[in-house]
Amino acid sequence: MQTFQISCQMSRFRAPKWTHNELPVIESKRITFNNRIGSEMTRIETMSVSNASVQDSGFYRCNSFSRSYHRLDVIPSQPTASTIDVIPKQHHNFEEIKEEYSTVVLKCDIISKSDTHEIFWSKNGQGIVSDDRRTIRKSGLTIRNATSIVDAGEYLCRVDSLSVRGGSQFGQIIYLRAPIRVKQLPNAQSVMKGVRRVIKCEYTGYPMGKIVWLIGNQKVTSDLLQSLGIEMKSNGDSHPDSALIIKNTTENNTDSYTCIVNNGFSEDETSVFLTVR
């Protein structure tokens, strides 16, 4: 069985993130990573793969943001039908955390003629091992007490299947979604003139949602905000529009303020009626 190596030079300030056909590559008994100093500002990253098979053919990158890649073609030596593993085509699955602190099972659709394979799970690029909440079984990952904040995200089930022809590798991505739940604002608030007021839109859910603000029945625009003396900024999260800031409240700011969040498969909202007196 043959071993191949792929090396790339990258900035020493960046962390490597190897991908094979745009799927993350996880270190295992068959796949190892190492590096050495290149120059003062660079580092040479090397990936070694043993027992190379046809399934290892494809495009490799040492960083998912890199425009450069290595193309590798592995030529099989006398393949026979009896040694070929039957593995499903790559596809993306979607699962959902329907209730907080519920049990979620992610299934990895693996079909093989033998049990000689290893399964590796990762979430957002970080490897997963069985613990008091998560259990890895033959073709599934069980998550107990699952919450949208901790457990929602992009999961990868990677299978290293061993056979007489050296082995193959298959990855399946599963998106564990969580419905949008917006933190509710009080129904009404009253403030004095001339004070600073911040209205925040906070929520949980995956994937990340898009925030839309309404003042009264009008969708927020830059012109509307400017006319009312309001700024739209980040509330310290990844959204640039998760907070409305009224620097100096006036009677013109008396109105209802509604935050609507939608992530493509779920939506939630909250409103507050602000009275300036």
Q: pLDDT tens track of the chain, all 277 residues?
A: 588 999 888 887 778 888 887 788 888 888 999 999 888 788 899 999 998 887 788 778 887 666 567 778 777 655 444 444 444 444 568 899 989 999 999 988 755 545 567 788 889 878 899 999 999 987 789 999 999 999 999 898 877 665 544 455 567 788 999 999 999 999 999 999 999 999 999 999 999 899 999 999 999 999 999 999 999 999 887 788 999 999 999 999 999 999 999 998 899 999 999 999 9
Q: Show the domain range for 63.
A: 4-72
| Torsion sign (Cα): 255, 261, 267, 269 | negative
Pick from 115, 127, 112: nearest CA to 158: 127
Enter the DSSP assignment of 252.
G
Q: Check which CATH number belongs to the domain holding 67 and give it.
A: 2.60.40.10
Measured CA to CA, the distance from residue 171 to residue 119 in angstroms comes to: 10
Q: Are residues 115 and 46 in the same domain?
A: no
Q: Are residues 96 and 142 in the same domain?
A: yes
Q: How many domains does the chain have?
A: 3
**For residue 79, cis peptide bond before it (omega within 30 degrees of 0):** no
Of 153, 178, 203, which closes a domain? 178
- 218-219 β-sheet, strand order: 188-191, 267-276, 255-262, 210-215, 218-219
Of 72, 101, 124, which closes a domain? 72
- If one counts every other C-beta atom within 10 angstroms of the C-beta of residue 81, the result is 5
Of 19, 53, 72, which closes a domain? 72
Q: Which residues contact 137 (CB under 8 A, 6 or more apart)?
A: none
